Structure 1
Amino acid sequence: MNIKVPTVILDGTVLALLDEQDLYGYAITKQVQQYLNVSESTMYPVLRRLQKDQMLTTYDEPFEGRNRRYYQITKTGKESLQNIKETWRDFSSAVDTLLLSTENGGGTDA
């Protein structure tokens, strides 16, 4: 099944990766692609938007004769990540309850 990944999930995934370590764009894309079906052309606008929203900053490091742009999470980004995690816990718990209760013959009578 091919489900369109909501923006908040992409944001949370990127922020969670960068909360662990600074990464450059291609590395972020490859790590996200291990879990979600997203293209490289999807990821760069996400990174630019998070930077514009002051959740990320960038810096350049030399790599093989050119500069590689690294992304780093900011204090604002860390706060946003915390909010996303809390919201995700509530949301996923509610969906799990609904899906698993209907799977086991529970559910609600409408």
Structure 2
Amino acid sequence: MNSQFKRGIIELCALKVISEKDMYSFEVIDQISRDIEVNENTIYPLLRRLTKQGLFETYTETVAIGAPRKYFKITVEGKKRLESLDKEWRSFLRSVLNILDGENNEK
């Protein structure tokens, strides 16, 4: 799959999973990679970029074992971006499926 195309989809997926619950980066990777092949080299820079854009805010929590975890929480702007990307993606997907199903072909 084209990496630019995949990157946009992964941004949408990251916004969606974090909108459902605050997550630390490994959880985001684990959640998305259940359905899409993705690794930390894609997710870590994405989370940093989206945080810098104000779509996520972060906080740290200590855990019993291991280093403190940095959690990502979606912001109001992040929710707006998620809604916008979701609409765009669903519209695009419907159009592609129409083409693949032959619904745009003249009879």
TM-score under structure 1 normalisation? 0.87
What's the CA shift string for 1:5-29, capped at 9, x where partnerless? 5322111100100110000000100
3-state secondary structure, aligned to 1:92: helix
Structure 2 counterpart of 1:93, which letter? R
Distance 1:73 1:38 in 2: 21
Name structure 2 gaps, 5 residues minimum.
none
Structure 1 counterpart of 2:28, which letter? I
**Equivalent residue for 1:86?**
87
Structure 2 counterpart of 1:9, which letter? I
- Could you say which structure has the larger radius of gyration? 1
3-state secondary structure, aligned to 2:38: coil
Question: What does 1:41-80 correspond to in 2, within 5 Å?
Answer: 41-63=41-63, 64-80=65-81
Distance 2:32 2:106 in 1: 36
Rate the CA distance shift 1:92–1:70 in 2: closer, same or farther, 3 A.
Answer: same
**Equivalent residue for 2:97?**
96
3-state secondary structure, aligned to 1:37: coil
Distance 1:8 1:34 in 2: 17
Q: Number of paired residues?
A: 105
TM-score under structure 2 normalisation? 0.89
**RMSD between aligned alpha carbons?**
1.8
Distance 2:96 2:81 in 1: 22
